[in-house]
Amino acid sequence: MKTWVLYYSRGGNTKKIAEAIAEELEILKTEQVPPAYPPENVQLLFLGTGVYAGKPDPKMIEFIRTLNTDRVKNVAVFGTRGGNDTRAIETVKSLIKEKGINVIDETFSCQGKYFIFFNRKKPDAEDLKAAKAFARKIYDSLKA
């Protein structure tokens, strides 16, 4: 099954989760948006965003607006955040649904390092392990 991992990350937290997902599914490459775009039909797109002031980054929102419904069949959303607010992940899901693309109900979100002092060791090994389990579960459910 053709699977891609795309993300947007300012500080590197979401990139770490994207790389863990790619490692679990043996995907050779992850890319940051924009300008990355699936060059061919993708059965499963893992789409990750950092959460900034409770919202997804504007670059991620713009990227979602350009998604071609003919090229992407399913999207699984993941992200990292400084606090506990997960509304941005739901916003991303809603924007994708508005495009008419199937969105996987289950999401993955964890805390990331926030400034210098908060969540200094996040995402940690347990977060990466959980991200891999999330990816495997989604992938296997669609492959069946």
pTM of the model: 0.90
Q: Residue 9 has which token pair?
A: 């990350």
Q: Which residue has the higher pLDDT, 92 or 32?
A: 92
Q: How far is CA 59 from CA 22, 28, 67, 132, in A?
A: 22, 24, 13, 25
pLDDT above 70 for 144? no
87-98 and 58-66 helices, crossing angle to 10°: 20
User: Is residue 118 very low, low, confident or very high in pLDDT (cuts 50, 70, 90)?
Assistant: low
Domain 3-143 indexed as CATH 3.40.50.360: yes
The tens digit of pLDDT for each residue in 65-108 reads: 988 888 899 999 999 987 676 788 999 999 999 999 999 999 99
Three-state secondary-structure class, residue 63:
helix
Residue 120 confidence (pLDDT):
63
Q: For the chain, how far is it from start to end, CA to CA, in angstroms?
A: 11
